[in-house]
Structure 1
Amino acid sequence: MAKISQKLRALTLVAAVAGAAFLPATSAQAATASTSILVTAAVAQACIVVATPLAFGVYDPTSASPTDGTATVAVTCTTGTAYTVGLSAGGGTGATTTVRKMTFGANTLDYALYQNAGRTTNWGNAVGTDTVAGTATGLLMNHTVYGRITAGQTVPMGAYADTVAVTVTY
């Protein structure tokens, strides 16, 4: 009888455990908390400038015609940035922004840089006076530099050169 009593207790325990498995589970409530992240950025006002060489080619001092050439100044600035492009007098001794001078040793060859194809508007470096103005779109903006070597200069043959600084003010 003791063995039956033990078996009965074991069956009762098994039945109780099995029955508990079929009881409805109590659902746990999920809790949440939230916030937000403030995301900011400041867009810098900036410009990049690149210039192509102005190669006049061969100048014929016996010709009655001037020698013309062009270069391009490419400007890319932050959208909405107002800017001006100025060109220095160059490095030739006695050069100005009106009469620039390429050099070959002690010799000089005069030339000029203009804002327009008719070569009537000088391109200098006085902001608001003789510079080229623009308002950036965020895309590359090309500005053509029109150069001219005046005819009839008596100069020795040689390879003349000058370096003109390009300044973008914004």
Structure 2
Amino acid sequence: MGRSSVNRYRSARLLAGAILLIPLLAGSASALCNVSATGLSFGPYDDFSPVPLDTTGTVTVICDEAPPPDVVISIGPSGNGSFNPRAMRHASLPDLLLYNLFTDASRGAVWGDGTAGTSTVFLKNVTKNSPRTTTIYGRTPAGQSVSLGPYSDTLTVTIVW
């Protein structure tokens, strides 16, 4: 069996899983802000591919307050306790599939809580008439040798206004 046959077989069976984002709100008691986030799905991961696997998701914030608040969005560390790299865990094995989330399309600024070299996202004047949506950029580095099967991680998205 040639490398390309093995490559297609592993690619078809290895699922990179999904990143579940759980919103957490922090603000004044009189303010009302709602947040929604889409999970990120990397799709099949090919451990023979020389290129990273990229995906995107979104976070949307809507606030009902006058004057419109400015909002800071942070994303907590992975289940492995780290921002860089984060890791998805295999569903039934001890394997980890490394990944990260970024604030920019070039994937240079790690999205975190503003500590340890991570960045947050600032949204100005968020209202119900002008909701703000920002993109989450995900990347799984190439060349990781991991077992076949589903991988997942759960992160907390915190909104402060």
1:56 and 2:42 are equivalent in the alignment: yes
CA–CA separation in structure 1 for the residues paired with 2:119 and 2:32: 22
Aligned pairs, number: 126
CA–CA separation in structure 1 for the residues paired with 2:157 and 2:113: 9
Identity of aligned residues (%): 35
Compare the two structures and name the one with the higher strand fraction: 2
Quick check: which has more Rg, 1 or 2? 1
Structure 2 counterpart of 1:134: 123
Structure 2 counterpart of 1:154: 145
Moved over 2 A (4+): 43-46
CA–CA separation in structure 1 for the residues paired with 2:119 and 2:86: 15
One of 58, 74, 80 as aligned partner of 2:60: 74
Please say if residues 114 and 147 of structure 1, whose CA atoms lie closer than 8 Å, have aligned partners that are also in contact. yes
Where in structure 2 are there 5+ consecutive unaligned residues? 1-28
**Higher-RCO chain (CA-CA 8 Å, sequence separation at least 6):** 2
Partner-residue secondary structure (3-state), 2:40: coil
Compare the two structures and name the one with the higher helix fraction: 1
Structure 1 counterpart of 2:31: 45
CA–CA separation in structure 1 for the residues paired with 2:149 and 2:76: 24
TM-score of the two chains, using structure 1 as the length reference = 0.69
TM-score of the two chains, using structure 2 as the length reference = 0.73
